[in-house]
Amino acid sequence: MNPLRFTLVSDGSSHQALIPVLRWLLARHAAGIGLEPQWADLRILPRRPAGLAERIRKALDLYPADLLFVHRDAEGQTPDLRYRQIREALVEIPNPPAVCVVPIRMTEAWLLINERAIRQAADNPNGRVALELPPLQTLESLRNPKTVLQAALREASQLQGRRARRFRIEDRVHRVAQLIDDYTPLFDLPAFQALERDLRNALPGIIAG
């Protein structure tokens, strides 16, 4: 079977960190199938697409795929509202099959599950400074997971002065996502359960085809 090519349409470039999460989840449900992930970089367009539906159409023009993931952080809105917005945008785009990705608050909450990965991403794997990561059951109620993750990375690096100012935090966030090899703890979170359910529903037709 040819590799399964999937495209992620997201709110911004920082959400490329979702690619390793989606790859891991797909590997659980499509074992033995090669995966070709693509992040839809719409910054290359001369004009910014107006609205989510146009963003999706432009993304598929540039990054055709067998499976589409559409991301929206809830960011204080209800998850149901974000799901409805995504599904309304997809009404006129029946193919490829699409899966909603709606973390509560922000994507970065899903990366706060692995202290080892954070220390490695900060290039200080043997550091002993306490990171004080939030308990798993509180991740979906954090006010600003991005700030929490960035603070943990800076603390883990133990850098100061000029070296701390050169610490490229967005690159480190992506690195955390790449270094986590097991996202199983996220199955305790309703938003991740919804993502898996949508993916499980979408895959049979793709694999059979």
Does residue 199 lie in a domain region? yes
pLDDT of residue 77: 76
Whose tokens are 């100061």? That residue is: 160
Report how far residue 192's alpha carbon sits from residue 60's, in angstroms, rounded to the nearest whole number.
24
What phi and psi, each to the nearest 5 degrees, are found at residue 103?
A: -65, 145
In a domain, 159, yes or no: yes
Residue 184, domain member (yes or no) = no
Tell me: do 63 and 14 sit in the same domain.
yes
Tokens found for residue 156: 């883990």
94 and 9 in a single domain? The answer is yes
> Beta strands of 42-102 (E only): which ranges?
67-71, 98-101
Based on the fold, state whether residues 81 and 159 are members of the same structural domain.
no
pLDDT in the model for residue 34: 93
Same domain for 62 and 165, yes or no, is no
pTM: 0.91
The pLDDT tens digits of the residues spanning 50-92 come to 899 999 999 999 999 999 999 998 777 788 999 999 999 999 8
Query: How far is it, in rounded angstroms, from Cα 106 to Cα 120?
Result: 22
Per-residue pLDDT at 133 exceeds 60 = yes
